[in-house]
């Protein structure tokens, strides 16, 4: 079963995302700040991270950069209200795999997640 880490400080949005993924057979964990997200991403096993850039304590930018500097190859999809194209480009150049702006349709997010997880699972099959 695929495990997704949801790094989102907006409680209602985190609950909405978590409910949707659980309903679709995923295991989820929510981190409400960047410090928590970083700790969970490095100490637990996840197949994908949904990362808000505007997290408290340690923002999503710091989480993204720290994970990539540790050579963490966990797929990361940014979920943010920031729709500026330069911000999107920066996030992708820092190692994010994809970028979704709020508000979004859950079905679109689910399709993106399934696409990345399909690739991750194919890569695991090739290694084993």
Query: What residues form DSSP beta bridges with 51?
Result: 7, 78
pLDDT, tens only, 38-81: 999 999 999 999 999 999 999 999 999 999 999 778 999 999 99
The pLDDT of residue 125 is: 63
Q: How far is CA 121 from CA 2, 49, 80, 117, 126, in A?
A: 9, 15, 26, 6, 9
pLDDT exceeds 60 at position 103: yes
**CA gap 59, 49 in Å, rounded:** 14
**CA gap 49, 76 in Å, rounded:** 5
Give percent of the chain with pLDDT exceeding 90: 86
pTM of the model: 0.93
The pLDDT of residue 123 is: 67
The pLDDT of residue 73 is: 86
Looking at per-residue confidence, does 32 or 125 come out higher?
A: 32
**H helix count then E strand count, the chain:** 5, 5
The pLDDT of residue 71 is: 79
Query: What residues form DSSP beta bridges with 113?
Result: none
The pLDDT of residue 18 is: 98
Could you tell me the two tokens for 50? 């949904």
Q: Which CATH architecture has domain 3-127?
A: 3-Layer(aba) Sandwich (3.40)
**CA gap 128, 124 in Å, rounded:** 6
pLDDT exceeds 60 at position 128: no
Return all residues near 50 (Cβ < 8 A) that are at least 6 apart.
4, 5, 6, 7, 8, 17, 77, 79, 109, 113
Domain chopping of the chain, boundaries: 3-127
The pLDDT of residue 1 is: 73
């Amino acid at each position: 079963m695929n495990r997704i880490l949801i790094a989102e400080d907006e409680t209602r949005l985190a609950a909405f995302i978590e409910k949707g993924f659980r309903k679709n057979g995923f295991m989820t964990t929510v981190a409400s700040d960047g410090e928590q997200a970083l700790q969970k991403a490095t100490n637990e096993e996840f197949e994908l991270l949904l990362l808000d850039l505007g997290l408290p304590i340690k923002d999503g930018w710091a989480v993204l950069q720290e994970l990539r500097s540790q050579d963490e190859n966990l797929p990361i999809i940014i979920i943010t209200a920031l729709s500026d194209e330069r911000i999107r480009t920066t996030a992708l150049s820092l190692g994010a795999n994809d970028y979704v702006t709020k508000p979004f349709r859950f079905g679109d997010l689910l399709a993106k997640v399934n696409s990345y997880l399909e690739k991750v699972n194919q890569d695991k099959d090739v290694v084993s």
